[in-house]
Amino acid sequence: MSPPAGVWHVHHCAPLFFPSPHLPARCPACGKPLPTSPPREVPSPFRRAADQPRSVLIRPTEGDFLLNYTGGGDLHAGVTDSGGGVVAFDRAGLRRVPTADWPQCIVIPLPASDAPAEAAAARWDHALDRLLTADAGRPLTTDEADRNCFSFVLAFLAALGLPGVAAGGLTREAFAREHVVPVSGRAAKYLTLYRRVRRLGWYAIGEEGRSRVQGAVSGGEDGR
């Protein structure tokens, strides 16, 4: 069985990070025994769409975040209904898409509705259904400026009318700047750590730890 995809942290001679909760007996940085208490998992910013009902989500247009996303790559946006089903705009138009295609997503924080929970859920789903119905008869072509996944999200937010989200006059650039960039920046930091740990087998923060990591990469670590 492959190890779980994540990063685990323990503080020893330095903050240490590992690609598995199953730690070596000895610290790869100082050689002393590691504590036997379980390491702490570093919270991942990525979520399964099925577990995020009534959310605006983004994911890479191709591939996934952990394995092959590079900064500046195209992102795809979608919206989940109250049951966790995904609605997104793609080359087939606006439609319900397989939730399994959205296993690693970043959730875009939105203000909470001031309506009761059941009413808020019904309003959310109704706004999605209206947009699906309105788009059903349109030609299956895309326009980069006016008809794409982000224009769908903006239209949805405008229809929903959440407090504090002026979606009616929100451009794609403003939406990205105000809502996407803050969370994607945090995700980028996690990705850097995750890939470094996977590549090196472990990672230590601090001057001594950095030099030892560099030594391990170049073959200078004696393995004690």
Model confidence pLDDT, tens digit, residues 191-211: 999 999 999 999 998 744 444
Do 19 and 109 share a structural domain? no
Do 54 and 13 share a structural domain? no
| 127 domain residue, yes or no | yes
How large a percentage of the chain has pLDDT more than 70?
83
Interior/surface letters 154-184, b for 16+ CB within 10 angstroms, e for the rest: bbbbbbbebeebebeebebeebbeebbeeeb
What pLDDT, in 10s, does the model give residues 147-183? 789 889 988 988 887 766 655 567 788 888 888 888 9
Could you list the residue range(s) of the whole structural domain that residue 110 is in? Answer: 49-170
Last residue of a domain, one of 134, 154, 170: 170
Beta strand residue intervals within the chain, DSSP E: 8-11, 15-18, 40-41, 56-60, 75-80, 86-90, 93-97, 106-108, 203-204
Per-residue pLDDT for 219 more than 50?
A: no
Q: What is the mean pLDDT of residues 23-45?
A: 93
Query: What pLDDT does 212 receive?
Result: 40
* Residue 186 backbone phi and psi in degrees, to 5: -65, -40
In DSSP terms, 76 is beta-bridged to 59
**DSSP 3-state of 15:** strand
Q: What is the mean pLDDT of residues 144-148?
A: 69
Query: What pLDDT does 143 receive?
Result: 55
Place of tokens 């400026």: 145
| 185 domain residue, yes or no | no
What pLDDT, in 10s, does the model give residues 103-119? 999 999 887 777 788 89
Do 141 and 60 share a structural domain? yes
| Identity of the residue numbered 63 | G
Record the tokens describing residue 5, joined without a space. 């995809």
Query: What pLDDT does 177 receive?
Result: 86
Do 19 and 70 share a structural domain? no
**DSSP 3-state of 212:** helix
- Domain total of the chain: 2
| 164 domain residue, yes or no | yes
Q: Which residues fall within 8 angstroms of residue 45, CB to CB, at 6 or more apart?
A: 106, 183, 186, 187, 190
| 99 domain residue, yes or no | yes
